[in-house]
């Protein structure tokens, strides 16, 4: 293991409240530690397979030198919720026979509902979309039926303005 040397420069008394605060702020500045994680960071550092267990996602921040260390342990949960909401990836459970996104709408997944375990996975958008499309209920658009305007809309279209009276 190689030790990384970081030159923190000259310290003055006005730079931070305490020496540990200043060291942490410098580590944040150099990208060694972080308080939050972007879902894009997870997508860019996705491992080779289709699925990535939430436990392995969390462990990567504590084991891999490519990942920054976390100041907030809930940052992974927050990144998963934001990633699902932005449709960067899907949150799926291995308990179901087919990997199906746990929430039908991204807004229903809350940070407290994210389970960090080997039985829950993240799937990339391109891997999750075909599965979600196959499991989605058939709609008029997907069955090829023409979409009709609602009856009240048709009635409104048929009303013509009255002719001007002279």
Does any domain span residue 65? Answer: yes
The token pair at 67 is 């990942």
Does any domain span residue 166? Answer: no
Task: Give the start-end residues of each E strand in 9-153.
Answer: 33-34, 51-53, 69-70, 89-93, 120-124
Does any domain span residue 121? Answer: yes
Does any domain span residue 151? Answer: no
Confidence category of residue 144, pLDDT binned at 50, 70, 90: low
Confidence category of residue 155, pLDDT binned at 50, 70, 90: very low
Domain limits at 84? 19-137
Does any domain span residue 44? Answer: yes
pLDDT digits (tens, 9 = 90+) for 24-68: 988 999 889 999 999 999 999 999 888 899 999 999 999 988 899
Instruction: Determine contact, residues 20/28, Cβ cutoff 8 Å.
Output: no
The mean of the pLDDT values for the chain is: 77
87: left (phi over 0), alpha (psi -120 to 50) or beta: left
How big is the CA angle at 106 (ends 132 and 87), to the nearest 5 degrees? Answer: 70
pTM for this prediction: 0.70
Count of domains observed in the chain: 1
Confidence category of residue 154, pLDDT binned at 50, 70, 90: very low
Does any domain span residue 3? Answer: no
Reduced to 3 states, what is the DSSP secondary structure of residue 55? Answer: helix
Predicted pLDDT at 71? 93
Distance CA 84, CA 88 (A): 6
Does any domain span residue 144? Answer: no
Does any domain span residue 105? Answer: yes
Predicted pLDDT at 78? 94
Instruction: Determine contact, residues 52/122, Cβ cutoff 8 Å.
Output: yes
Q: Is 77 exposed, middle or buried (0-12, 13-18, 19+ CB in 10 A)?
A: buried
């Amino acid at each position: 293991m190689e030790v990384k040397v970081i030159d923190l420069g000259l310290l003055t008394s006005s730079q931070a409240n305490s020496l540990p605060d200043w060291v942490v702020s410098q580590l944040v500045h150099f990208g060694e530690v972080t308080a939050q994680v972007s879902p894009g960071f997870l997508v860019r550092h996705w491992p080779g397979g289709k699925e990535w267990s939430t436990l392995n996602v969390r462990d990567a921040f504590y084991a891999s030198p490519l990942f920054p260390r976390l100041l907030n342990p809930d940052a992974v949960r927050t990144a998963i919720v934001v990633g699902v909401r932005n449709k960067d990836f899907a949150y799926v459970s291995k308990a179901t026979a087919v990997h199906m996104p746990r929430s039908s709408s991204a807004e229903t997944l809350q940070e407290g509902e994210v389970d960090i375990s080997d039985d829950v996975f993240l799937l990339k958008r391109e891997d999750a979309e075909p599965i979600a499309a196959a499991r989605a209920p058939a709609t008029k658009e997907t069955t090829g039926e023409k979409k009709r305007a609602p009856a009240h809309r048709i009635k409104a279209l048929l009303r013509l303005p009255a002719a001007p009276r002279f």
